[in-house]
Structure 1
Amino acid sequence: MAIPSLKQWQRNILFAFHNDCSPSCNTPRARTLLASHIIQKHIHMDTGTHIKGPTIVWFRKSLRLHDNPTLQRAVQLASELFPLFILDPYYINPDKIGFQRFRFMLECMKDLDHSLRKYQSKLLVIYGEPVNVLENCCKTWKCSYLCFEKDSDIYSRNRDEKVLQRMKGLGVQCFVESGHTLYDLDMLVAKLNGNSPPTQMTSFLKFIEQIGPPPKPIETVRNIPPLRKELLSSISISKVPEIEEIPGYELITEPTPCPFQGGESKALERMQQALNREQGKWIVRFSKPHTSPVSLDPPSTTVLSPYIKCGALSVRLFFWELKRVEDSFSVKTKPPVSLIGQLYWREHFYLLGYTIPHFDQIQGNPLCKTIPWEHRQEWFQAWEQAQTGYPFIDAAMTQLKQWGWLHHLTRHVVACFLTRGDLWISWEKGKETFEKYLIDGDWSINAANWMWLSCSAFFTRYFRVYSPIAFPKKYDPHGNYIRYFLPVLRNMPNKYIYEPWKAPLKVQKEVNCILGKDYPLPIVDHEEMKKRNIQKMIQVFQNKS
C-alpha cells in the first residue's frame, strides 16, 4: 500500500478514522498473563552480535536522546538509521486529542528533530496507519531491523501485535525495549509469580522493596549515524508539522498561550530547576497532599508529568536525580507522599493497567465496582464546558482547556463533582474528557484516578465529598484563581466569589455580572446532591456490587 502524502492524508483522515484504522471499542481484552506477554513470541531480545543493516527506530513515546534504550539498540544495529514518527489517524483527531495536548506533543517532536539534526539526521514524519506505513518503509528502505519501545495501553498492544506479525512475514527482526517505566513491566509480572498485582499502595511499596531500586539510566546516545537524503526520495515524508496543518485543528484558535512548552530540552531544564529549588530542600520537604491547587506562578508541584508522559524526560533519570538529592539530607519525606512516591504511584497504576483486563472501563473490569450511574447530557455538557454555576469548578475546567493541565487536587474536586459528589455521572465520561485535554493524560493513570475519585476502586470513604466552595476557599479565600480563569467574575466581592448567586442584584449590576445571564446559576444544589448521593453510595456498598 502506498503511503499517502500530507495532502492526501488530510483528505482521507476523517474517513480512515471511522474505518478499519480505528480499533473497535469492543476489542476483547486478553486475560492477565496473556496480555502481559502477548507480543513476546515475535520479539528478538537476545544480546548477541548482529550484522549491521538498515534500521528503523520508531518513536512513539521516549521523544528524547537521553536514557533511551530503544535508540541505543537501533544505533548498535544500524548501517543506516531511519528515525521515524508515525502520525496515527486513530489519535490525530480533534474530537479525541485536544489542541494543547497535540501542541505539546508536536513541540516534543520538534525538539527531538532539532537534536537529531545535530548529527545530520532528522525525524521522519509519515501520516498513516502504522502497520501499512512500516511495511512500506521496510520494503522501500530494505530494512533488516525495527526497534521500538514497549507500550502498555490496550490499543498500543493490539497495534504492536499486528506490527510484529507483519514484520515477521517480511523477515524484519524486531527489538522491543522497556524505557517508559521505572521497571520492565513484564519483569514485574514475572515477580508476581502468578499472583494478582497489589491494588493498594502500601502493598505495592512492599513489593517494590523486595525487588530493589530500578535500573539506572543509560548514557545519552551520541553516535547517531547521519541520514542520507537520497534514501528518502521514494517515500512521501514530511517535516514535523505545525498544528494548523493537521485536519480539524486548523479551525481551532489556540485557547490561550500555555505556560508549558514541550520537548526534551525544556524537560531537562525544568527538572534541574526543581532539583535546585532551595538548594534541594524543596525536594526533601515535598509532600503531595500539602501542595496548593491554586498556585499558578510558580505551580506548587514540578509539572514534569507531561514531559514524562511524552517521554521527553526519562522517569528513571528523574528517579535517580531525586535519589541523589535525597541522599544528601538526613530528614526527608517518604513514599507515597514524596516526589519519588509520585513515581511509584505511576508505576503502580501502569502495572495495574498492564495486567487487569478492561482497566479503562466499567464492564468486564474485575477491579471496578458497578455503580448505577445516570447520564444527564445537559449536566455533563455544563461540566465539560465550564457552565456549572460553581466558580471553582468552572475555573478548573477552563484551565483544563486553556493550559491542558490541572493540579491533582483540582482534578480531585472536578472528578468528585461529576461523579459521586454532585452529578452522579459515570467516571468513564470524565476519563474521556481528561484524556482529550490533559497534556499529561496517561491511559492507566487517568483510568485509575477516575476510579479512585468515584469510589469505584481503591477508595471507599464515599462520605468524604469535596465541596466546590469550602475546599478551594481554604487555599484561596479571595478567589484569585477564579478571577484569573473566569474574567466575568473578576470584580465580584470576596464575599460572593465562590457563591455569586448569593450576591444581591445591586452588587451583580455594579460588577457587570448578572447571574443567569452573564454567568450561569448553579445547575444543582451541592448540599442536596451530596446527601442524596451518599445515600446511593450506602446502597452500593451494602450490596457489595
Structure 2
Amino acid sequence: MQHSSIHWFRKGLRLHDNPALLAAATDCCRLHPLFILDPSSNRAGANARRFLLDALLDLDGSLREMGSRLFVVRGCPQEVFPCLFRAWGTTRLTFEVDTEPPARQRDTAVAELAAQHGVEVIQKVSHTLYDTERVLALNGGKAPLTYKHLQSLLTSLGPPEKPAPALTQEHLQGCHTPCQTSHDTDYGVPTLEELGQNPAEMGPHLYPGGETAALARLDAHMERTAWVRGFKKPETEPTSLSPSTTVLSPYIKFGCLSVRTFWWRLDEVYQGREHSQPPVSLHGQLLWREFFYTAGASIPNFDRMVGNPICLQVDWDDNPQYLRAWREGQTGYPFIDAIMTQLRSEGWIHHLARHAVACFLTRGDLWVSWEEGLKVFEELLLDADWSLNAGNWLWLGSSAFFHRYFHVYSPVAFGKKTDRDGAYIRKYLPILKDFPAEYIYEPWKAPRAVQERAGCLVGTHYPRPIVEHRAASERNLGRMKAARAQKGTKREPPAGPSVAESRRKKSKAEQH
C-alpha cells in the first residue's frame, strides 16, 4: 500500500537519526512534514522562540533540497489534525515519542483522533538514549531515584541504540510533497514579529537554532579530542566570558541534535584512550539527562511541590518583590545579578551559575519557592527542558534527590573562586565596570568616594543588597531543618554521586 503520510515534528527538528520520519517515508506516495505552533503549549520567551524559528527555517531548507517542504500550522493539535487528515487524505501519522506527561496526554488524544479517521499511527523512540518505558519496567514501574541506580539498570540494557540513517533523497523516491505557489503564505515559518516579538529588543544572537548549526557545533567540539576526553563538568567555570562547556543543550532540547548521535560521536573519541567517566564526563551528562527524563515520565506532579511524592513540602514565602528583583537582576548582589542579566539577554548560563542563582532564590537567601524559579527558567532558557528543569530545581531547592541543604552557595565568595577581578560582572553589569576588584562583588562596602569615582552610587544607580546573606542563610537553614523534621524519620534516598562528590571537594569559600 502506498501511504499518504504526515510526519509530525515536535522536538526532533532534524533529518538525522529520525526513525519516525523514515517510517513516514516508507511505502509513501505523498508526504506532508508538519510542525504545529500551539500557542498554549509552553512559556517560552523571545530567545527560545527565535531559536525555534531558526530551527524550523533550517529544517524547511533541508527538506526543500530534497524536493519537499515543511508545513507550519497554528493551533491546538487536537483541533488541527481532523481538518488535515481530511484535506490531505492521510493514511499514516508518525511522530517521535515524548515522555512528558502533558505531551503524552496530547499524543494519546491525537492517536484516538487518528483511529477515528482510519489513520495508522507510528511512534518511535529517539529523543532519549533509551526507551524510558523499558527502563521503568526494569525497575518495577518506578523511577530510579539515584544516579547509580539508573546506571545499574542501564548496564543490563547495554549501550544505547545506534542512530538511524539520516533521511536522504533516496528515501523519498516516488514520494511527493504537494506544494502550492502559496505555500509560504499558507504554511511558511512565521517571523518573530508575527509571534509578537520585537527583534530590536532582543539580546545577541549567539546560538542560532537548527540542525545545521547543531552538527557544526558538534563537529567543532569533537575535533577537540583531548578536551572531550578530559572533560569534567564540575571543573568548568561559571564566570568564563565564553562558554566553558559545549552549549549543545539547546540543540538537544529541540532535537536539532540527536542525543544518540552525540553519545556515539563521544564513543568514537573515547575509543582506546583514557578518558573521564560518568557522572562528570560528557557521557555522564547525557546519563543525567536520562535520569531526569525517567523521573519526569513517572513521578506524579514532578514539576510542582504539592502532590509530588518525592518532594519535601516546604512553607515557602510568597514574596513578589524578592522574586521580581531576582528575575530582573536587581538583588544588589552583582554575581547573582550578572548571571540573571546574562540569562535574560542570551538565553544560556553555565550550570554552576544556575546552581548559584537557584540556591539564592530558594533555601540560600530569599526563601521563594523553586516552582517560581522553574517558571522563570522555562521562559528565559534556550534549553528549558521540562524534565531537566523540574529535576534540577527540585535538586537545588533541596526538595528532592539532593539533601545536603546546609551547603549554600555564597553570592560573593563563589564567583571570586574563578573570577577574582570580576570580569564577568563588568561584562554583564557595566554600571559597575569601574569599581576596583576589591569591591566589585560587594559594591555597598565601597567608600562613597570610590563609588563616585566609579560613577555608580549604591542605592541610587545600583540597588543595595535585598537581604544580608549571612543572616538570611542562617535563618533559612533553620527553616529547612524544621521542614525536614516535620517530614519525619522516613529514610531519604542518598544524593547522586556527581554533585555529592563535587560538593565535598568544594572549598569553604563557597559556603557563607
Other-structure match for 1:516: 459
Q: Is the CA contact 1:388–1:394 (under 8 Å) kept in the aligned structure 2?
A: yes
1:78 to partner: Cα distance: 1.9
Alignment of 1:179-198 (within 5 A): 179-192=126-139, 194-198=140-144
1:91 to partner: Cα distance: 3.2
Which one of the candidate residues 47, 63, 66 is aligned to 1:116? Answer: 63
Alignment of 1:87-236 (within 5 A): 87-91=37-41, 96-192=43-139, 194-222=140-168, 223-224=171-172, 225-230=175-180
In structure 1, C-alpha distance between the alignment counterparts of 2:452 and 2:231, rounded to whole Å: 44
Q: Cα gap change, 1:74/1:195 in structure 2, threshold over 3 Å: closer, same or farther? A: closer
In structure 2, C-alpha distance between the alignment counterparts of 1:424 and 1:59, rounded to whole Å: 40
Other-structure match for 2:493: none
Other-structure match for 2:436: 493
Q: Is the CA contact 1:77–1:145 (under 8 Å) kept in the aligned structure 2?
A: no
1:153 to partner: Cα distance: 1.5
In structure 2, C-alpha distance between the alignment counterparts of 1:401 and 1:53, rounded to whole Å: 46
Other-structure match for 2:249: 305
In structure 1, C-alpha distance between the alignment counterparts of 2:313 and 2:232, rounded to whole Å: 33
Write the letter of the residue equivalent to 2:5.
T
Write the letter of the residue equivalent to 2:429.
L
Write the letter of the residue equivalent to 2:247.
V
Whether 2:388 is the aligned partner of 1:445: answer yes
The alignment partner of 1:475 has SS state of: coil
Alignment of 1:477-488 (within 5 A): 477-488=420-431
The alignment partner of 1:64 has SS state of: coil
Write the letter of the residue equivalent to 1:206.
S
RMSD: 1.5
Alignment of 1:33-432 (within 5 A): 51-91=1-41, 96-192=43-139, 194-222=140-168, 223-224=171-172, 225-230=175-180, 237-246=186-195, 248-250=196-198, 253-277=200-224, 280-297=225-242, 299-329=243-273, 331-432=274-375
Q: Cα gap change, 1:491/1:208 in structure 2, threshold over 3 Å: closer, same or farther? A: same
> What 5-or-longer segments of structure 1 have no aligned partner?
1-50
Q: Is the CA contact 1:288–1:337 (under 8 Å) kept in the aligned structure 2?
A: yes
1:249 to partner: Cα distance: 1.9
1:543 to partner: Cα distance: 2.1
Return 444-453 or 218-227, whichever deviates more. Answer: 218-227
In structure 2, C-alpha distance between the alignment counterparts of 1:148 and 1:233, rounded to whole Å: 26
Q: Normalising by structure 2, report the TM-score.
A: 0.92
Q: Normalising by structure 1, report the TM-score.
A: 0.87
Would you identify which runs of 4 or more consecutive aligned residues in structure 1 move more than 6 Å? 232-236
Write the letter of the residue equivalent to 1:256.
G
The alignment partner of 1:398 has SS state of: helix
Q: Cα gap change, 1:191/1:52 in structure 2, threshold over 3 Å: closer, same or farther? A: farther
Q: Is the CA contact 1:258–1:402 (under 8 Å) kept in the aligned structure 2?
A: no
The alignment partner of 1:402 has SS state of: helix
Deviations for 1:211-233, whole angstroms, at most 9, x for unmatched residues?
Answer: 11010001111023342225x97
Q: Is the CA contact 2:17–2:258 (under 8 Å) kept in the aligned structure 1?
A: yes
What percent identity do the matched residue pairs reach? 46
1:196 to partner: Cα distance: 2.3
The alignment partner of 2:223 has SS state of: helix
Q: Cα gap change, 1:322/1:524 in structure 2, threshold over 3 Å: closer, same or farther? A: same
In structure 1, C-alpha distance between the alignment counterparts of 2:66 and 2:182, rounded to whole Å: 20
The alignment partner of 2:238 has SS state of: coil
1:363 to partner: Cα distance: 1.0
1:195 to partner: Cα distance: 4.8
1:328 to partner: Cα distance: 3.1
Q: Is the CA contact 2:331–2:466 (under 8 Å) kept in the aligned structure 1?
A: yes
The alignment partner of 2:201 has SS state of: coil
1:133 to partner: Cα distance: 1.1
In structure 2, C-alpha distance between the alignment counterparts of 1:205 and 1:221, rounded to whole Å: 32
Whether 2:472 is the aligned partner of 1:529: answer yes
1:236 to partner: Cα distance: 7.3
Q: Cα gap change, 1:322/1:235 in structure 2, threshold over 3 Å: closer, same or farther? A: closer
In structure 2, C-alpha distance between the alignment counterparts of 1:497 and 1:235, rounded to whole Å: 51
In structure 1, C-alpha distance between the alignment counterparts of 2:186 and 2:131, rounded to whole Å: 33
Deviations for 1:24-48, whole angstroms, at most 9, x for unmatched residues?
Answer: xxxxxxxxxxxxxxxxxxxxxxxxx
1:154 to partner: Cα distance: 2.1
In structure 1, C-alpha distance between the alignment counterparts of 2:264 and 2:431, rounded to whole Å: 45
The alignment partner of 2:4 has SS state of: strand
Aligned residues: 484
In structure 1, C-alpha distance between the alignment counterparts of 2:300 and 2:481, rounded to whole Å: 27
Q: Is the CA contact 2:72–2:189 (under 8 Å) kept in the aligned structure 1?
A: yes
The alignment partner of 1:292 has SS state of: coil
1:498 to partner: Cα distance: 0.2
1:473 to partner: Cα distance: 0.4
Alignment of 1:456-495 (within 5 A): 456-495=399-438
Which one of the candidate residues 441, 446, 455 is aligned to 1:503? Answer: 446
In structure 2, C-alpha distance between the alignment counterparts of 1:132 and 1:377, rounded to whole Å: 37
Write the letter of the residue equivalent to 2:215.
L
1:102 to partner: Cα distance: 0.8
Q: Is the CA contact 1:83–1:122 (under 8 Å) kept in the aligned structure 2?
A: yes
Other-structure match for 1:36: none
Write the letter of the residue equivalent to 1:116.
L
In structure 2, C-alpha distance between the alignment counterparts of 1:339 and 1:378, rounded to whole Å: 39
In structure 1, C-alpha distance between the alignment counterparts of 2:461 and 2:161, rounded to whole Å: 55
